[in-house]
Structure 1
Amino acid sequence: MRAASPPRRDTDVGPLAGIRVADFTWVWAGPHATLQLAHLGAEVIRVEALQRPCVTRLLPPWPDGIPGANRSGYFNQFNQGKRSIVLDLKTPEGVDLARRLVACSDVAAENFAAGVMDRLGLGWEVLRALNPRLVMIALSGYGAYGPEHEFVSYGPAQVPLSGMSSLTGYRGWPPMHVGISYGDPNGGIHGAFAVLAALWHRERTGEGQYIDLSQWETTMAVLPEGIMDAVMNGVAPERNGNRDRWMAPHGIFRAAGDERWIALAVRDDDEWRRFAAAIGAPELAGDARFATLAARKANEDALEDLVTAWTAARSPDETTALLQRVGIAAFPALSNRDICEDAHLRERGFFVELEHPEVGVRRHLGIPWRMSETPCAVERPAPCVGEATDYVLGEILGLDTATCDDLRARGIVA
């Protein structure tokens, strides 16, 4: 059955309005990069392979526990605002259609292993010949060249490879994972930034260019402290759990209630004096064990026991209000459920309610910035599989109905 053509925009919104992205990405890093471009107003068209659906279409969570290729919360979060066309890229006609889409696009994005796009006949040299103004980004695990460029990679691998795991965990414990596949969203944000810079260069010069992004390198780029210590001093920082080298107390402490926690950080001796007064124990400011940062670090176990005894008797909100009033960084350690109901985020409009044809109205994380002159908006939910195939073939590529029907009948498109 033919998918209905998607609704057209009433008005172009966002600073990238008028920019078209041919999006060959899948899983998380690439879709996260193109999500930022969609948030900024670009028309992002996902090119989905007929034989190999995006992994995240098949992953939970699913609303009401009912699986389906269009029902994944994972996929629907990271692909909101995009369109979808399905092509058989194992056929010459499918590849030709992909090339024609790229020829009338501003950006092409992919995050396959190095060499996959070349083998499909969609590599940089082919595409730049069709569209000299094209900006193409490849977000791979290790980059387009180097001894390990063909290694298989997923975002979780970037955490230990980058040294992040060596910094994560408690003293005396082995390295630990950080809880999410950090290399993916971090690589996606870096990728979007690079695309914007390349578009600005094209605006000034008329030249397109190829962006070779290594997720390994983008993960290391946000970890300067440990690497600089190794480079300059030949040492590696110890794993310290929730503690900080330059602040004490610093961590997440038990609060009143079941699985309730409070995060706080005391930056210097002046803040320590304010903290001591706020908790009703001003004498701690002069206690030799805690009066200076060096003393607090030397007696950190005793310090944390003291702090926990106080925080455990109060709710996270009570502690936050009391300490924030005296200029101490304190805030609840929120659960995902807490975040969904957070009043501050609701007032800022961070959450968006999107009506999806298969899962109904659902809340999603929205756009985390506000622009005064070029406001951005999430215009549509994530696409169902192939929902824009007819729109792309007809309105963008200019194919007539008979040709579209023939391509569909022969399985070239879906």
Structure 2
Amino acid sequence: MARLPLEGIRVADFTCVWAGPFCTLQLAHLGAEVIRIETAARPCVTRLLPPWPDNKPGLNRSGYFNQYNQGKRSLTLDLKKPAALEIAKQLVAKSDIVAENFAGGVMDRLGLGYETLKQIKPDIIMISLSGYGATGPEKDYISYGPAQVPMSGMSSLTGYKGWRPMHVGISYGDPNGGLHGAFAVLCALMYRARTGKGQYIDLSQWETSTAMVAEGLFDYNMNGSQPERDGNRDPHMAPHGVFRCAGEDRWVSLAVRDDNEWQRLCAVMNRPELATDPRFTTLADRKQNEDELESLMTAWTLTRSAEEATEQLQAAGIPAALSMSNKDLATDPHLNSRSIFVYLDHPEVGKKQHIGIPWQLSKTPLTVRRAAPTLGEDTEYVLREILGYGTEEIAALRDRQVLT
């Protein structure tokens, strides 16, 4: 069996919520041994969030936590105790990467800042994923995922004409920051492989989110303008949007990119006369008469299912897709044929469907190796197998409430 890309790499993972765990999830997918450092005194908030199987809460039952921490291990330490801090430092000495996404200054106050850790292990790579970055006048501001979307300018582009800015539906800044973080860690590992030197990675989620919506910023820099919010419409395509179909809450999205596609759409709709209708002949015409255009589209899509509309449009070479529900996603034959979904057997919630690894390498096939850990599941393993503690030492640490 081929060696995994990050096999032999160990991550001391102090992250919580979404951005940090999403970063270390990618490293686990690539074969790294990721060890979460947690505490029962203040468990990661995602351990407390729904959904839970059968709507029964529990620290080890959250679908949110179990999705984004699959493939990892869990070590419980009360970092308020000096003995726990010493164990954390011992783990760092045996690790390649330290990941954290606390508020600015927390790791330094714990005695686990980069300047301290590189004295313990000179080639350590440390990544801090924060809202505002480790420097700058707002570095100590409190940040949370939903705030990253409006901060990036994305909300100013999202919403209906004349209405207030709108959120995009998820805390986009978190997974986006996590992916950027994983990429940065891989770069640091390559640098270390060449030079033998570690480094500190300062990641600002504000910046990683802003980097993904740079078009509006370019427009401002070049023209001093601010794009207007315009619902699902696009300035360069028409029709462009999501249209109601037959059935309850069923929709199809489509985008017509040029006049040739418009003519094909008219043929699919069995309305060839619309191709030469002066209201719709060119993109400029269609944009000028977009309300009427969308009414015509809806009149057609309402007569068929979203699946039928998608198939007919795709057959004509027009980009179209269902607006999928969660049920659609879970049962979609295309997604299931590509093995994106995996069933992981968890000791408390049983076998459940998860989103697995959304890419595959032809020479080094990847697979999710284990379900998310229960709280403290691997404490004995880490202490005994990695750090060399004996049975009596571990028992003494438990008696002193260090391993909680």
TM over 0.5: yes
Residues of 2 paired with 1:97 and 1:367: CA distance? 32
- The answer to whether the aligner puts 1:400 opposite 2:395 as a matched pair is no
Question: What is the Cα deviation at residue 210 of structure 1?
Answer: 0.3
- The answer to whether the aligner puts 1:157 opposite 2:157 as a matched pair is no
Hey, what does 2:248 align to over in structure 1?
Answer: 258
Alignment partner for residue 182 of structure 2, among 192, 197, 217?
192
Amino acid in structure 1 at the alignment position of 2:330 = C
- The answer to whether the aligner puts 1:104 opposite 2:94 as a matched pair is yes
Q: Any idea what the Cα deviations from partners look like across 1:302-345, whole Å, max 9, x if unmatched?
A: 10001010001110111111111111001110011111111111
Residues of 2 paired with 1:68 and 1:51: CA distance? 14
Hey, what does 1:53 align to over in structure 2?
Answer: 43
Does the aligned pair in 1 maintain the 2:2–2:363 contact within 8 Å?
A: no
SS at match of 1:213: strand
Residues of 1 paired with 2:371 and 2:217: CA distance? 41
Does the aligned pair in 2 maintain the 1:29–1:187 contact within 8 Å?
A: yes
SS at match of 2:119: helix
Amino acid in structure 2 at the alignment position of 1:366 = G
Hey, what does 1:213 align to over in structure 2?
Answer: 203
Hey, what does 2:275 align to over in structure 1?
Answer: 285
Question: What is the Cα deviation at residue 123 of structure 1?
Answer: 0.2
Hey, what does 2:32 align to over in structure 1?
Answer: 42
The aligned length equals: 404
SS at match of 2:392: helix
- The answer to whether the aligner puts 1:139 opposite 2:144 as a matched pair is no
Residues of 1 paired with 2:195 and 2:237: CA distance? 48
Question: What is the Cα deviation at residue 49 of structure 1?
Answer: 2.8
Question: What is the Cα deviation at residue 62 of structure 1?
Answer: 0.5
Does the aligned pair in 2 maintain the 1:13–1:377 contact within 8 Å?
A: no
Alignment gaps of 5+ in structure 2: none
Hey, what does 2:69 align to over in structure 1?
Answer: 79
Amino acid in structure 2 at the alignment position of 1:324 = Q
Does the aligned pair in 2 maintain the 1:13–1:375 contact within 8 Å?
A: no
SS at match of 1:210: strand
Question: What is the Cα deviation at residue 50 of structure 1?
Answer: 4.1
**Mapping of residues 11-410 of structure 1, within 5 Å:** 14-410=4-400
SS at match of 2:247: coil
Same amino acid, percent of matched pairs: 65
TM-score by length of 1: 0.96
SS at match of 2:212: coil
Alignment gaps of 5+ in structure 1: 1-10
Does the aligned pair in 2 maintain the 1:139–1:187 contact within 8 Å?
A: yes
TM-score by length of 2: 0.99
Amino acid in structure 2 at the alignment position of 1:330 = A
Question: What is the Cα deviation at residue 12 of structure 1?
Answer: 7.8
SS at match of 2:353: strand
Q: CA RMSD in A?
A: 0.9
Amino acid in structure 1 at the alignment position of 2:269 = I
Residues of 1 paired with 2:135 and 2:244: CA distance? 48
Q: Any idea what the Cα deviations from partners look like across 1:257-308, whole Å, max 9, x if unmatched?
A: 0110000001101111111111111121111111111111111111000101
Residues of 2 paired with 1:19 and 1:298: CA distance? 57
Question: What is the Cα deviation at residue 14 of structure 1?
Answer: 2.4
Residues of 1 paired with 2:82 and 2:300: CA distance? 69
